Structure 1
Amino acid sequence: MLRYLSIIFCAATSFSIAAQGVVTLDSCRAMALGNNKEIKTAELKIKQAGYQRKEAAAAYLPSVDFEGAYTYNQKNLSLVDKDQLLPVKTFNPLTQNYEYELLVNPSTGQPVIVNGTPVPLQMALLPKDALTFNTHNVFAGAITVTQPIYMGGKIKAMNEITHFAQDLAISMHDSKVEDVIYNVDAAYWQVVSLKAKQRLAEGYVSLVESLDNDVKALVEQGVATRTTLLSVDVKLNEAQIALTKVNDGLVLSRMLLAQVCGMPINDQFTLADEDKETLAETTLRPATFNMDNVYAKRHDIHSLELAVKIFDQKAKVARSEMLPTIAAVGAYHAMNPNTYNGFANKFGFAFSVGAMVKIPIWHWGGLSNKYKAAVTEARMKQVELDDVREKVQLQVNQASFKYQEAYKTYDMTCKNLRVAEENLRMAQVAFKEGVSTSDEVLKAQTAWLAANSEKIDAEINVRLCDVYLSKVMGELKIY
Structure 2
Amino acid sequence: MKKYDKMNMNQKVFSCLLALLCSLYLSAQTATYTLEQCREMAKAQNKQTQINEENVAAAKAMRQAAFANFFPKLSANAAYLWNQKDLVLAPDKLDTRIGTVQANGGIEWAQTAGMQNLQNTIAGLATTAEAASPGAGMIVTQMANGAINSVGNAMGGIYGDIRKELTFDIKNMFVVQAGVIQPIFMGGKLRELYRIAKANEQIAKIRTKGNDDDIIVNVDEAYWRVVSVDEKLKLANQYVGLLEQLEHDVQIMVDEGVATQSELLKVRVKLSEARMQQLQAMNGLSLSKMALAQICGMPLDEQFNVDSDKLTEVELTTKEVNMEEVYDNRTELQLLEQANNIAKSGVKLAASTLQPNIMASANYIWSNPSVFNGFQKKFDGFFNVGVVMNVPIAHVNDIFLLKAAKHKARTIELKLEESREKIELQTTQSRNKVEEANMKLTMARNNLTNADENLRMAKEAFSEGVMTSSELLGAQTAWLNAHSQLIDTAIEAKVCQLYFLKHTGNL
Instruction: Confirm whether residue 200 of structure 1 aligns to residue 235 of structure 2.
Output: yes
**CA distance 1:200–1:19, change in 2 (3 Å):** closer
Corresponding position of 1:217 = 252
Corresponding position of 2:135 = none
Corresponding position of 1:462 = 493
Three-state SS of the structure 2 residue aligned to 1:126 is helix
Corresponding position of 1:167 = 202
Whether the aligned pair in 2 keeps the contact of 1:326 and 1:355 (CA below 8 Å) is yes
TM-fit CA distance, 1:277: 5.4
Deviations 1:295-320 (A, max 9, x none): 11212211211111012112212221
Corresponding position of 2:413 = 382
Corresponding position of 2:462 = 431
Deviations 1:354-381 (A, max 9, x none): 0111111113x21111122122222211
Corresponding position of 2:377 = 345
Letter in 2 for 1:475: N
Letter in 2 for 1:245: Q
Corresponding position of 2:392 = 360
Corresponding position of 1:68 = 78
Corresponding position of 1:234 = 269
Corresponding position of 2:42 = 32
Whether the aligned pair in 2 keeps the contact of 1:172 and 1:300 (CA below 8 Å) is no
Three-state SS of the structure 2 residue aligned to 1:323 is coil
Corresponding position of 1:310 = 342
Three-state SS of the structure 1 residue aligned to 2:81 is strand
Larger Rg: 2
Whether the aligned pair in 2 keeps the contact of 1:83 and 1:126 (CA below 8 Å) is no
1:145-294 correspondence runs (5 A)? 145-272=180-307, 274=308, 276=309, 278-286=311-319, 288-294=320-326
Provide the C-alpha distance between the structure 1 equivalents of 2:349 and 2:311, rounded to a whole number of angstroms. 60
Whether the aligned pair in 2 keeps the contact of 1:341 and 1:348 (CA below 8 Å) is no
Provide the C-alpha distance between the structure 2 equivalents of 1:132 and 1:84, rounded to a whole number of angstroms. 15
**Relative to structure 2, which stretch is displaced further, 446-455 or 75-84?**
75-84
Letter in 1 for 2:231: A
Whether the aligned pair in 1 keeps the contact of 2:316 and 2:434 (CA below 8 Å) is no
TM-fit CA distance, 1:343: 4.2
Letter in 2 for 1:67: N
Corresponding position of 2:504 = 473
Whether the aligned pair in 2 keeps the contact of 1:157 and 1:317 (CA below 8 Å) is yes
Provide the C-alpha distance between the structure 1 equivalents of 2:30 and 2:355, rounded to a whole number of angstroms. 67
Deviations 1:178-227 (A, max 9, x none): 11122222222222222211111101001111111122222222333333
TM-score calculated relative to the size of structure 1:
0.83
Three-state SS of the structure 1 residue aligned to 2:76 is strand
TM-fit CA distance, 1:265: 2.7
Corresponding position of 1:79 = 89
**Unmatched segments (≥5 aa) in structure 1:** 1-17, 88-101, 107-119
Whether the aligned pair in 2 keeps the contact of 1:62 and 1:145 (CA below 8 Å) is yes
TM-fit CA distance, 1:145: 0.8
Three-state SS of the structure 2 residue aligned to 1:152 is coil
**Relative to structure 2, which stretch is displaced further, 217-226 or 403-412?**
217-226
Whether the aligned pair in 2 keeps the contact of 1:305 and 1:385 (CA below 8 Å) is yes
Whether the aligned pair in 1 keeps the contact of 2:30 and 2:305 (CA below 8 Å) is no
**CA distance 1:84–1:126, change in 2 (3 Å):** farther
Provide the C-alpha distance between the structure 2 equivalents of 1:331 and 1:211, rounded to a whole number of angstroms. 101
Provide the C-alpha distance between the structure 2 equivalents of 1:433 and 1:223, rounded to a whole number of angstroms. 12
Provide the C-alpha distance between the structure 1 equivalents of 2:189 and 2:237, rounded to a whole number of angstroms. 71
Whether the aligned pair in 2 keeps the contact of 1:311 and 1:377 (CA below 8 Å) is yes
TM-fit CA distance, 1:163: 1.8
Three-state SS of the structure 2 residue aligned to 1:332 is strand
Instruction: Confirm whether residue 23 of structure 1 aligns to residue 33 of structure 2.
Output: yes
Letter in 2 for 1:40: Q
TM-fit CA distance, 1:392: 0.7
**Relative to structure 2, which stretch is displaced further, 123-132 or 53-62?**
123-132
**Relative to structure 2, which stretch is displaced further, 124-133 or 459-468?**
124-133
TM-score calculated relative to the size of structure 2:
0.79
* Larger helix percent: 2
Provide the C-alpha distance between the structure 1 equivalents of 2:167 and 2:310, rounded to a whole number of angstroms. 105
CA RMSD after TM alignment = 2.8
1:402-441 correspondence runs (5 A)? 402-441=433-472
Instruction: Confirm whether residue 130 of structure 1 aligns to residue 165 of structure 2.
Output: yes
The structure 1 segments of at least 4 consecutive aligned residues displaced by more than 6 Å after TM superposition are 120-124
TM-fit CA distance, 1:278: 4.7
**CA distance 1:407–1:218, change in 2 (3 Å):** same
